[in-house]
Amino acid sequence: MADSERPSVLVTGGAKRLGAGIARGFGEAGWHVIVHYGQSREEAERLAADLPSAETVTCDLEDGDASVAMVEAVAGRLADWRVLVNCASVFEPDEVGALDPETGRRTMQINARTPARMAQAFLTHARARGGRRVISVTDQKLRNPNPDFFSYTMSKHALGSTIPMLSKGRALAGWRETDRIYGLAPGAILPSHDQDEDEAEVSHRLNLLGRKTGKDEVARAALFLSHGWLASGQTLFVDSGQHLCDQDRDVIYLAREKMDS
């Protein structure tokens, strides 16, 4: 259970990959961490046990009503819930010439609709000693789109649009002036889809700095945003400049072309 002296953060998809890195970063910084998971119970419980103060919650983010109910339940028992990190997402391929309807429906629900509803519920119900923060993890593809993973990219653009909308709607919704809604846009961080390690090593350096961005850097950026020093509605890119490139395809395929040439 939460330590009353620690601020709390909930990280969706916090059991694995980038979400786990963010959860660990907050935990090591002294926060009470609620690790949300869908199917990765063992990983979530192992991570929570390894942090100074943590617990786990589970919910299928495809079920928007259940996701809102989870937020309301957590808000009802935490005295200082300051941050919600919407990190969970699905990354499945479909084609620019033929969006797969089921992939599109599921991806839009998990990556955009549910995070928006969870943010609304958090800002309506969560109690916190200071201002509350919503941090939605988007993607550098907001500035550097390509036709691959069509539904995924479309969903991240949809999620990105909620950041200024929620920020400008604070007064209309009756939320606090001290609340902040932010975006956090990483680039290629971890091997994804069907990549092997060699391909990832190449693709993760296809940015302006020619370097790999670490998940610890994304975690530190999330901690920075948790302080609320930036104006609400802003998105912070952590991608070694990848969003400033003009890439015609996803780096997964650009890396394969580079390795084959």
Please tell me whether the overall predicted TM-score, pTM, comes out greater than 0.85 for this model: yes
Strands (E) in 87-238, as ranges, are 133-137, 180-186, 235-238
Question: If you ran DSSP here, which 8-state letter would residue 1 be given?
Answer: -
Per-residue tokens: 65: 């009503």
Written as one string, the DSSP assignment of 119-148 is HHHHHHH---SS--EEEEE--GGGTS--SS
Beta carbons within 10 angstroms of residue 51's beta carbon: 17
Which pLDDT score is estimated for 218?
98
Torsion, Cα of 201, 203, 206, 210 (10° steps): -10
Buried (b) or exposed (e) across 153-175, using 16+ Cβ within 10 A?
A: bbbbbbbbebbeebbeebeeeeb
Spatial CA neighbour of 141 closest among 19, 252, 12, 13: 252
> Which domains, ranges and CATH numbers included, belong to the chain?
8-192+212-245 (3.40.50.720)
Which pLDDT score is estimated for 257?
83
Asked if residue 1 has pLDDT above 60, the reply is: no
Asked if residue 52 has pLDDT above 60, the reply is: yes
Q: What is the mean pLDDT of residues 91-100?
A: 91
Q: Any residues with CB less than 8 A from the CB of 90 and at least 6 apart, and which?
A: 106, 107, 110, 111, 152
- Distance, CA of 164 to CA of 232 (rounded, Å): 8
Asked if residue 3 has pLDDT above 90, the reply is: no
- Distance, CA of 103 to CA of 152 (rounded, Å): 9
Which pLDDT score is estimated for 62?
98
Q: What is the mean pLDDT of residues 241-252?
A: 94
Largest CA distance in the chain: 58
For 155-183, write each residue's pLDDT tens digit. Answer: 999 999 999 999 999 999 999 999 999 99
